[in-house]
Structure 1
């Protein structure tokens, strides 16, 4: 290889390394913490969720899932149905976030420890065992902590109220309706196999009984 060719090769290599270094830049959790302050009222100061305001628990959820859902809210894949009042609130909040903001706040929330809360659950956990493992366990795991390879989020950290609410949103076509929400559409099909409130309550009770 000639000297000129070597120099060109080195230049191209260094340029590509620089580009990949920028694209692979780690998310800034400190910046994410600052951004999260505007979310505290609904999602709690520790990301623990606020049921009275329909705010999901976010602390300790998978970073990739948080990024996907925030992006979906921002782009109208989620929260765009007129009847989805809660989703529309999140959609409005997400419009102010840049791609970098979404990366940073998702990384911050994923870095937080899951906050365990004691709550009353209406269903029968023993009866929910078989129902959960027959209809949900294949994707979300026997411990309901999700499965990265199947793009299934952690369910065990979510409140009983939020779990019930979201299952009903899938059943009412408020979630999983958009063609770009591949995993949401899969979840919508599974949600529709839970045909009554008793079964849903039992499944939720079982999830909340897991440690």
Structure 2
């Protein structure tokens, strides 16, 4: 192992030495190197000229040219395949979903109005909005919303019954308020009797309470 190490070290040292020699020779035969040698008093121009002639002879040798020639003729390239252009996207002619929803809401609104008033004006607006919704969506409007018929007018007897019912409700509210006032008077006389006082006042309050209590019992509790 030590012998191989020594051999490897010697080999590397020789390579480094050869590299330095080649570098020094290249610098020496350059124009700057020749000028430096002439400055020292040595003319190496004949040596450099002989070296260049030797290089030219070696380059003109057919054997060297066959070894060093490289065919750099480019190989013919196949034409790149033409890719078809992507088809342009066609504009979708489908209606806007927002417009469909808006017409549906309008159809429902005027349908509700026609249910309430039954006028020809509401019916015309309802039919126009619902027909437009049917054209935009392609759906049968009868499946989405039930179109109302005009509300039926109340007969004379129905109107009379309605008025009587309203009058009865008003009478009940008034009677309830009247009984409430009687109850408040009874509570007032009870408070006076509990507080005590002169005998004549106590007799008066008992009499008044008896009157109000009888009226409350007869008009409110027996109704």
Q: Shorter-normalised TM-score: what interval?
A: under 0.3
> What TM-score results when the alignment is normalised by the length of structure 1?
0.20
Structure with bigger helix share is 2
Looking at CA atoms only, which structure, 1 or 2, has the larger radius of gyration? Answer: 2
